[in-house]
Chain A
Amino acid sequence: MARAAVRGLALTLVSLPGSVLCFVLTLVSVALIPIGVGIVTTPYVLRGVRTFANWRRVLAAEWGGVRIPPSYRPLPADANPWARTFGMLRDPATWRDLRWLPVDMTAGFVTALLPFALVVYPLEGLALAIGLWRVMPDGYWYGFVPVHGQASALGAGVLALGLLLVAHLFAVRLLHGHFLLTRAVLGARRGELSERVRVLTETRRDAVDTSAAELRRIERDLHDGAQARLVAMGMDLGTVEALIEKDPAQARELLTRTRQSSAEALTELRELVRGIHPPVLAERGLGDAVRALALRLPVTTEVSVELPGRAEAPVESAAYFAVSEVLTNAVKHSGADRIWVDLHHAGDHLRVSVTDNGRGGAVTGAGSGLAGVERRLGTFDGVLAVSSPAGGPTMVTMEIPCALS
């Protein structure tokens, strides 16, 4: 408690003059930039601000256990004053520092002063109770207690004890609050950044997992399908070569079989290609690919497309497979007899909505096809929303940030 009070006092003594000085110097220096002087002085002043802020960062870590990592952009060592000044002014961390200074000289000052005051003020109350009241003028107010004699001085003492108790309970926390306030204003928005890092890590892992699984599936399909058929065809052709003189009839039969095999291999390859990257998507882009997809569905599907250009291939592909999955879900589970798909681009986002008139009740929970769609869209910072009240209708909306070309 006492340590918190001392530290509070130290912070109070430093934060107010330090912040005011830094703030005023910065304002003056920046204001002098138009006449040239500021170009020279600003880097020094800003470096001073950074030193001050860094020192407070150290205090926050040592006294409060609150870590505020600095995030200044590095400046080239040989930069001229002009580049140095504007390089520093362009750094968002600089502006964070400047925002912090006024906060520090007001709210920061108060939160540092409170722990100190809470410890020192009761000492005066106790002193009054012991006898200091005698030298004080009559009717001296201690807090809300007017001191007239020993009795009221004892009352002041009781109040002081109460305050001391409050100090005991809260002084350390108040000081901690001061450091948290500092971090809130001075720290880079770490929460946001670390959340972003978490999301990126997760979606990257998902993307890698999905593509690895895809490759495994393709490998297996080729290995068991087309590859095996080609081997069989090669063998058959060898046999035909051997038989063609001796037994032309059987050779012809084998040739027919070989031709059939090659047709089947082609069919398999075609399906495989459709699963990797549908040809219509490559030939016509997302709009027509979804139209072609809708034509293959057993449920009447209306597609409206308003895309003034084409998105990047990976985005197109992700959007296509997402729509495909959502449509498959709708056909399989919704019991709908009509589906509407709407594709349009607005505000740098590709927006897709799939609505059906089925029974509703679709969920995005684990294991559902929609969760997979959500994961795949995540790779592109895309999002998916489902509105599916029991009784329907179901509306799945997807949004992927992208530019059209």
Chain B
Amino acid sequence: MRVVLAEDLFLLRDGLVRLLEAHDFEIAAAVESGPELARALAEREPDVAVVDVRLPPTHTDEGLQCALEARRRRPGLPVLVLSQHVEQLYARELLADGSGGVGYLLKDRVFDAEQFVDAVRRVAAGGTAMDPQVIQQLLARRSGGDRPLARLTPRELEVLELMAQGRTNAAIAGRLVVTERAIAKHTANIFAKLGLEVSDDDNRRVLAVLAYLDRGR
């Protein structure tokens, strides 16, 4: 699997290259600035891009803009965005085209190599990887006056949270130490309570949940 990597801090870039190579990824390009990233995305045709939000030369949201632009030109291009902070605002922009293949994680998540590599693979396969913090913000914001959410059991809320992060039923089952069947039952309940259409496609399911959570009250 070919990866384009953009990160301006040498230590982190070097670490990510080694981490990804150790997990059988091929580094198509590892760049350190916005213009270089734009060129690499256009020329190298990667399977997935791992991009830091803030890049030189402006040190603003160059990386994010590059990623969004590349996805406009090649819809569905898998992009995993890394940042020192997560904002619902950015998550919304990444998810706006509704085509999946999007990840948005705190840089801290690379501490757990297994989880991080899993997230990269998921995004490359067209799935979603949202940082737990983004989901918590969404849930916290809606917990106030949202009746359907209030009807969920604590377990269902837990499942909802993990599902919104983009995890598959199998992964959620593993995490909560229950069977996949139990998770399937929970998800069915959640979708019924929130009034969402049930879908067999994991990915579409995640996007539906995220859209529900992000909807204005």
Contact = CB atoms under 8 A, between A and B. Distances in A.
Contacts of A299: 144
**Nearest 9 Cβ contacts at the A-B interface:** A283-B61, A292-B89, A295-B88, A283-B60, A292-B87, A279-B85, A298-B144, A266-B108, A300-B217
Interface residues on A, range: 20 to 34
A288 B216 contact: no
Contacts of B83: 279
A282 B59 CA distance: 8
Contacts, number: 49
Contacts of B53: 283
A269 to B, nearest CB: 9
Majority secondary structure of chain B interface residues (helix, strand, loop or mixed): loop
Contacts of A279: 54, 83-85
Contacts of A273: 84-85
A296 B141 contact: yes
Interface of B: 53-54, 59-61, 83-85, 87-89, 92, 108, 111, 137, 140-141, 143-145, 216-217
B53 to A, nearest CB: 7
Contacts of B89: 280, 288, 291-292, 295
Contacts of A274: 85
A282 B140 CA distance: 25
27 contacts: A259-B111, A262-B111, A263-B111, A267-B108, A273-B85, A274-B85, A279-B54, A279-B83, A279-B84, A279-B85, A280-B85, A282-B59, A282-B60, A283-B54, A283-B60, A283-B61, A291-B89, A292-B87, A295-B87, A295-B88, A295-B92, A296-B88, A296-B137, A297-B141, A298-B141, A300-B216, A337-B145
B166 to A, nearest CB: 20
A274 B84 CA distance: 11
A270 interface: yes
Contacts of A292: 87-89
Contacts of A246: none
B67 to A, nearest CB: 14
Contacts of A300: 216-217
Majority secondary structure of chain A interface residues (helix, strand, loop or mixed): helix
A284 interface: yes
Contacts of B84: 270, 273, 279
Nearest to A263: B108
Given A295-B141, A298-B141, A284 B85 contact: no
Interface in A271-304: 273-274, 279-280, 282-284, 288, 291-292, 295-300
Nearest to B61: A283
A267 B92 CA distance: 22
Contact of B137 (A282, A291, A295): A295
A266 B60 CA distance: 20
Contact of B60 (A284, A295, A297): A284
Pick the most buried of B53, B54, B84, B89: most chain A CB atoms within 10 A of its CB: B89
Given A263-B108, A274-B85, A297-B141, 20 more contacts: A259-B111, A267-B108, A270-B84, A270-B85, A279-B83, A279-B85, A280-B85, A280-B89, A282-B59, A283-B54, A283-B61, A284-B60, A284-B61, A291-B89, A292-B87, A295-B88, A295-B141, A296-B88, A298-B140, A299-B144
Nearest to A278: B85
B9 to A, nearest CB: 14
Pick the most buried of A288, A295, A296, A300: most chain B CB atoms within 10 A of its CB: A295
Contacts of A288: 89
Contacts of A295: 87-89, 92, 137, 141
A339 B83 CA distance: 29
Nearest to A302: B216
A295 B86 CA distance: 12
A295 B142 CA distance: 10
A295 B145 CA distance: 15
A298 B149 CA distance: 14
Nearest to B53: A283
Contacts of B141: 295-298
Nearest to A271: B85
Contacts of A283: 53-54, 60-61
A274 B87 CA distance: 12
Contacts of B88: 292, 295-296
A297 B145 CA distance: 13
Nearest to A266: B108
Nearest to A296: B137
B142 to A, nearest CB: 9
B87 to A, nearest CB: 5
Nearest to B142: A298
Interface in A298-345: 298-300, 337
A284 B145 CA distance: 30
Contacts of B111: 259, 262-263
A183 to B, nearest CB: 55
Interface in A207-249: none
A96 B207 CA distance: 72
Nearest to B112: A259
A262 B145 CA distance: 36
Contacts of B54: 279, 283
A108 to B, nearest CB: 63
Contacts of B60: 282-284
A224 to B, nearest CB: 21
Pick the most buried of B84, B87, B141, B144: most chain A CB atoms within 10 A of its CB: B87
A263 B132 CA distance: 14
Contacts of B61: 283-284
